[in-house]
Amino acid sequence: MKKRLLFSLCAILIPHISNTAASSSSAIAGGQEGQKPIKNLIGHTYDVYSIAFSPDGTKIVSGGSGDWTVRLWDIDTGEQIGAPLAQNGYVKAVAFSPDSSKIASGEGAYNMVIRLWNANTGQQIHEIFTDFNAMISSLAFSPDGTKLAAGSHDGTIRILSSLNAASPRIGESMRERADAVRSIAFAPDSNMLASAAGNTINFWNINTRQKVGESLSICSGRRDLIYSIALSPDGTKVASGGNDTTVRIWDINTRKQIGIPLTGHTDWVNTVAFSPDGGKIASGSKDKTIRLWDVCTGKQIGEPLKEHSESVLSVKFSPNGTMLASGSSDNTIKIWQLMIPTLQQRAARVIQQHPEINEQAKILIPSGIQQKFDIGDRGQTIEAMEALEAIEKLLGDLNDLD
């Protein structure tokens, strides 16, 4: 039955891919040998610990730890927008609100302060003094934009709400454990938060402030530390990177690791990020490289990106998935163009890898139905993209199909 469904889905694309099959094999979303960034953002005078794209895709915000600044950048020009947003301490975390209107920054030196900024004017909206006892390590807006989570090296997490009020409200702390909270990430429903501390990933109901379900732990027989986590856009997976030099993918529902650890980096993995479509993971390492991974196969995509001269501390995909930004201890931010295959190229690769579905689909699907889904003249329609994603999902484990 599953094979029949697979063949049926493929049939809607078959009439339009014969001319692209020969050229599709080289169309992959990954780095090429010696690839250079398309832009270098220069301005910070110390480590760039945190970066974020604005959801509208027009800006990047960055936090420089030792230079005590937050900076805004125009993606099209690569130029800094206005003067740096001055802080009174080290900055290790920045975040954009889902509507692109606000920026959050977390600082720590004499006081542990969260600042909210107007992303269009650069004016400070709020200065929020917290009772954290150590550096603010991570910030995350909830997808619905109503809350801001903050994690600290003191092992606690705070949730800020009423962000548009005169005084945002700070909720009671959620204590992780004795280890520093190094990374946090919201689930798509805005009600669950994942956090990484020590060698463990926990999940929290932010309304009750209680942990939900079992924790995920790395136990390799050494002092394991998880430095970064990222949740997939559909909320079903979490990726992690740490001092064991690997990237791991976990199933949130089963609390089990998916496959084996992804290996390739030769030093700590400082940062991980999911692509907007959930199909790829980017990782940045102390080994000065960035690597891209296929979530379904666990394979590295293309060649590592190697232009940073020091440790890579933060990576983020652009909202449309065509670019990747990286922040580094070399004080720079680099923007990379990712080679994304077109709809026809992706379809051609599917058929090229599994030619048996071509003839089968012709038998199973009447030509009239094929014509109903004709995309040859209309380009990459939403319906076609959804169908192709369904095909690729089914092909992810073809050997298990009945």
Q: DSSP code of 267? A: S
Domain boundary among 282, 308, 337: 337
Shared domain check, 289 and 212? yes
Tell me: do 356 and 324 sit in the same domain: no
Domain that holds residue 188: 39-337
Domain end among 337, 353, 376: 337
What is the end-to-end Cα distance of the chain in Å, rounded? Answer: 7
56 and 15 together in one domain: no
Residue 16 and residue 80 in one domain: no
More confident residue, 29 or 219: 219
Task: Mark which of 317, 337, 357 sits at the end of a domain.
Answer: 337
Examine the domain organization and report whether 61 and 46 are in the same domain: yes
Rounded to an integer, what is the distance from CA 292 to the centroid of its chain? 11
Q: Between helices 356-364 and 2-11, what is the axis angle to 10°?
A: 90
Same domain, 22 and 119: no
Task: Give the DSSP H or E segment for 335.
Answer: strand 332-337
In this structure, is residue 143 part of a structural domain?
A: yes
Going through 188-299 in order, the beta strands assigned E by DSSP cover: 192-197, 200-205, 210-211, 216-217, 226-231, 237-242, 247-251, 256-257, 269-274, 280-285, 290-294
Same-domain status, 199 and 315: yes
Q: What is the pLDDT of residues 262-276, one digit of tens each?
A: 999 999 999 999 999
Domain membership flag for residue 33: no
Q: 323 and 360 share a domain?
A: no
What gap in Å lies between CA 271 and CA 267, rounded to an integer?
A: 12
Nearest Cα neighbor of 71 from 355, 348, 325 is 325
Can you give the pLDDT at residue 192? 97
What residues form DSSP beta bridges with 148? 141, 160
The pLDDT confidence band at residue 29, using thresholds 50, 70 and 90, is low
- pLDDT by residue (tens digit) across 304-342? 999 999 999 999 999 999 999 999 999 999 999 997 554
350 assigned to some structural domain? yes
Same domain, 136 and 279: yes
**CA angle, 194 then 197 then 202, to 5°:** 35
3-state class (DSSP) for residue 333: strand
247: which residues sit within 8 A by CB, 6+ positions away?
Answer: 239, 240, 241, 261, 262, 265, 269, 272, 281, 283, 291, 293
Residue 89 lies in a domain: yes
Q: What is the pLDDT of residues 375-393, one digit of tens each?
A: 333 333 444 555 555 555 5
Average pLDDT, the chain: 83
Burial 297-327 (b: 16+ CB within 10 A, else e): ebebbbebbbbbeebbbbbbbbeebbbbbbb
Angle at the Cα of 153 (from 150 to 155), degrees rounded to 5? 80
Averaged pLDDT, 18-33: 45
- In this prediction, residue 111 carries a pLDDT of 85
Q: In terms of domains, do 326 and 373 share one?
A: no
pLDDT at 359: 54
d(CA 190, CA 205) in angstroms, rounded, equals: 9
Q: Provide the pLDDT for residue 87.
A: 79
> What pLDDT shows up at residue 89?
86
Burial group, residue 254, by CB count within 10 angstroms (0-12, 13-18, 19+): exposed
User: Looking at the domain assignment, is residue 34 inside a domain?
Assistant: no
Residue with tokens 């947003």: 85
Q: Would residue 199 be called left, alpha or beta, if left means φ above 0 and alpha means ψ between -120 and 50 degrees?
A: alpha
Whether 1 shows a pLDDT value over 70: the answer reads no
Residues 130 and 269 in one domain: yes
Task: Kindly report the CATH number assigned to the domain that includes residue 286.
Answer: 2.130.10.10
The percentage of the chain sitting over the pLDDT mark of 90, rounded to a whole number, equals 64
Please name every residue paired with 127 in a beta bridge, in sequence order, or none if there are none.
115
Q: How much is the pLDDT for 19?
A: 38
Rounded Cα gap, residues 127 and 38, in angstroms: 35
Confidence of residue 13 (pLDDT cuts 50, 70, 90): very low
Q: Does one domain contain both 170 and 289?
A: yes
113 is a domain residue? yes
The reply to whether 32 falls in a domain is no
Task: Count the domains in the chain.
Answer: 2
How far is Cα 140 from Cα 187, in angstroms, rounded to an integer? Answer: 11
List pLDDT tens digits, range 357-369: 555 544 444 443 3
